A and B are shown apart, each in its own frame.
Chain A
Amino acid sequence: MIKTGIPKLDDYLNGGLPTGKSLLYYCQPGVEGDVFGMQTTYINLQQGYKSVCIATASSPDVIRGKFTEFGWPLEKFENQFEIIDAYSALIGADSSEKYVVEDPENIKNLDKVITEVIEDSSGKVIIHGSISNIIDMCGEDQALEYIENWNKYIMLYDVVGIYNFTVWPYSDKTVERIKDELFNAVIRIGGVSEHVIFGQYYSVTKADWTKAMIDSSILFKVLRPGGVKAFIPKLLVTGPFNAGKSSFVQSLSTRSVSVDRMGTTVALDIGHIDHKGFSADIFGTPGQERFDPILKLLGGEAMGVFLVIDSVKGNEFERARQMLEVTRTRGLPCVIVANKQDLPDALSIEEIKRQMEISKNIPIVPAVAKEKKGVFEAFEILIDQIMVGI
């Protein structure tokens, strides 16, 4: 079993991709799909696998440079990483790669090299390439016939095939075969659009070895360096006055700003977090009642809520519950952050649960925001809740 290294995807695939299988990243044109195969490759180089990348649209140097751009330097994996150069011949350039395809537009040439690589492998090899480029060079029917054969080799030699496919308007027959027949797993990578593409997502559409979580979509961003990060556009941090919301936003965030006056938030706190493959924008509200009219605006489009409370002030729990109403976020995935647990009079989690009178499904996480205690646990719990709900 290998990991894809894509946030949440291995969970959805019940642990990852078994050897002997092929996985296709099925990408809408214009969406950043190439990086998925690269990320899977690099994660597994780190696990001791060998990888062979088929270069069809970029020179080998450019491909190596692209790995570096994402923060995945290949120097220390020199003995594990090879490129099948099916590009240099297209532009009449020389190649210094071990594997060179002399005439990439003749699929028999490409086939000879790919089957040689698989036969020479002693397992633990990942083959990675773009099948749309191969189709473009060699024609639809012929390319599919050979790809089907390579997948048989992959199964026979117990290696792994990771492919990218840009869904240009090929014939329906070709697209259907690629989507439904040729690969063991298909991960759709698409764009959210209205006039222009302004968001990107991925979802599992097929995995023939497990009951995968089909069609659960995860929004993502591509960071340089960093690669694919699951992206939560908006998490709200709310709670009563002086409960420690700003401290929570600052402790959780990779970067943050606060609009405050004399130490009190008067507009909002904004932060951004990159943690364990997830990327999220965080918006913190002010807590005083005079700001209630603007809170419903801040709550709009939030995907989850941190309700921060002061563990000492049981008399403010009513206000905390009220703030879920004011921000119109009741019903969204929510985690209660029981802040200031280091103070001597802090209520226990059980006592807070009793006094808060809220659904027992809402987790309460003990925290000391100023010391970053409990903040990342709260984040991970909220992300899990959001992902289950998507």
Chain B
Amino acid sequence: MTGYKLGINGLGDVIGDIKGGTNILLIGPPMCGKNIILNNIMFQGLSDGEFAVFITTAESGENIINWFTENKKGVEDHMDQFGVIDCVSKTLGLNVGDTQTIKRVSSPVNLTGISVGITSFFEDFWMKKEIHKARMCIDSLSTMLMYSNIQTVFRFLHVHSRRIKTADAIGIYIVESGMHDEQTIVTVKQLFDGVLEIKNEEDNLFIRALGLSPKPTKWFGYEIDGAEVIVEV
């Protein structure tokens, strides 16, 4: 099976295709465009004919879909490859049901429910639609860690990072740096094969990749322009 394109211009060319079964931590400080980076990575998958499962603990399912329809031309053609697990709407007390694209989970605490949602989308796309390349993301682990302790989240990730490997898919997981103690970050990092690390120095943003190419890349400056990520390679 061929690898996965990252979907971030410039950086993707430097690291090349990502091999199936890779779990990637996307870590950086707040307000540096991690969501937009993540959304671009997910959109690349949809464009390449993969299926994409988006687990959101920060925005409602509808907001996630709206971002893609407003910012990514042609995404409408790929909606039957897209699944969103919405852990937000029910927490807000909204009386909303599932749709073909969105499955609701009662809260970010309900890791069992999230797990069932992932299984259901993977079964649907893999078995019924016969799409055998996938990317899954969680935005964000930081919210999960606010509601559940590190051991609980670790156990959940342990199971699902392995399932990503079994399915030869890729997984991307956002963590806010500075929100958790060093021990928590070290514990979580054990489960990932690669890291996309972001830093902000005097209002200049930088990104680098570790574990996704033979050597860590150098720090590249980048900008967020609307819905696009422009990396200065």
Chain A residues near B148 (CB-CB < 8 A): 136
**Shortest Cβ distance from B121 into A: residue:** A196
Q: How close is A168's CB to chain B, nearest CB, in angstroms?
A: 4
Chain A residues near B106 (CB-CB < 8 A): 57-59, 62-63, 66
Q: In the complex the two chains form, what is the Cα distance from A282 to B156 in whole Å?
A: 38
- Picked from B147, B156, B168, the residue with its CB within 8 Å of the CB of A168 is B156
- Picked from B118, B123, B132, B166, the residue with its CB within 8 Å of the CB of A198 is B123
Q: How close is A218's CB to chain B, nearest CB, in angstroms?
A: 18
**Shortest Cβ distance from A199 into B: residue:** B123
Q: Does B214 contact A (CB under 8 A)?
A: no
Count, A-B residue pairs, CB within 8 A:
97
Q: Does B159 contact A (CB under 8 A)?
A: yes
Q: Evaluate contact between B109 and A87: CB separation under 8 angstroms.
A: yes
Question: A31-39, A249-257, A305-313, A348-356: which one contacts chain B?
Answer: A31-39
Q: Does B71 contact A (CB under 8 A)?
A: no
Q: In the complex the two chains form, what is the Cα distance from A34 to B166 in whole Å?
A: 25
Q: Evaluate contact between B107 and A57: CB separation under 8 angstroms.
A: yes
Q: Does B187 contact A (CB under 8 A)?
A: no
Q: Evaluate contact between A34 and B113: CB separation under 8 angstroms.
A: yes
Q: In the complex the two chains form, what is the Cα distance from A114 to B147 in whole Å?
A: 23
Q: Does A90 contact B (CB under 8 A)?
A: yes
Q: Does B122 contact A (CB under 8 A)?
A: yes
Q: Evaluate contact between A29 and B159: CB separation under 8 angstroms.
A: yes
Q: Does A247 contact B (CB under 8 A)?
A: no
Q: Evaluate contact between A168 and B126: CB separation under 8 angstroms.
A: no
Q: How close is B84's CB to chain A, nearest CB, in angstroms?
A: 17
Chain B residues near A130 (CB-CB < 8 A): 112
Q: In the complex the two chains form, what is the Cα distance from A155 to B148 in whole Å?
A: 32
Q: Evaluate contact between B126 and A198: CB separation under 8 angstroms.
A: yes
Chain A residues near B127 (CB-CB < 8 A): 196, 198
Q: Evaluate contact between B147 and A31: CB separation under 8 angstroms.
A: no
Q: Does A169 contact B (CB under 8 A)?
A: yes
Interface residues of A in 320-371 (CB under 8 A from B): none
Chain A residues near B95 (CB-CB < 8 A): 65
Size of A's binding interface in residues, CB under 8 A: 35
- Interface of B, secondary structure class, is helix
**Shortest Cβ distance from A166 into B: residue:** B112
Q: Evaluate contact between A90 and B147: CB separation under 8 angstroms.
A: yes
Q: Evaluate contact between B155 and A170: CB separation under 8 angstroms.
A: yes
Q: Evaluate contact between B163 and A30: CB separation under 8 angstroms.
A: yes
**Shortest Cβ distance from B155 into A: residue:** A168
Q: Evaluate contact between A29 and B110: CB separation under 8 angstroms.
A: no
**Shortest Cβ distance from B95 into A: residue:** A65
Chain A residues near B168 (CB-CB < 8 A): 195
Chain B residues near A196 (CB-CB < 8 A): 119, 122-123, 126-127, 163, 166-167
Q: In the complex the two chains form, what is the Cα distance from A34 to B95 in whole Å?
A: 20
Q: Evaluate contact between A91 and B107: CB separation under 8 angstroms.
A: yes
Q: Evaluate contact between A91 and B152: CB separation under 8 angstroms.
A: no
Given contacts A57-B109, A62-B106, A166-B115, contact A91 B122 (CB under 8 A): no
Q: How close is A105's CB to chain B, nearest CB, in angstroms?
A: 9
Interface residues of B in 70-118 (CB under 8 A from A): 90-91, 93, 95, 97, 106-107, 109-113, 115-116, 118
Q: In the complex the two chains form, what is the Cα distance from A130 to B168 in whole Å?
A: 31
Q: In the complex the two chains form, what is the Cα distance from A56 to B126 in whole Å?
A: 32
Q: In the complex the two chains form, what is the Cα distance from A364 to B50 in whole Å?
A: 50
Q: How close is A37's CB to chain B, nearest CB, in angstroms?
A: 12
Apart from A87-B107, A90-B109, A133-B112, list 11 A-B contacts with CB within 8 A: A30-B159, A31-B116, A32-B116, A57-B111, A57-B112, A58-B113, A61-B93, A69-B97, A136-B152, A169-B159, A196-B166
Sampled A-B contacts (21; CB under 8 Å): A27-B112, A30-B116, A32-B116, A34-B112, A57-B107, A57-B109, A57-B111, A58-B110, A58-B113, A59-B93, A66-B106, A87-B107, A91-B91, A91-B107, A133-B112, A136-B149, A169-B159, A193-B166, A196-B122, A197-B119, A198-B126
Chain A contact residues, CB within 8 Å of chain B: 27, 29-34, 56-59, 61-63, 65-66, 69, 87, 90-91, 130, 132-133, 136, 164, 166, 168-170, 191, 193, 195-198
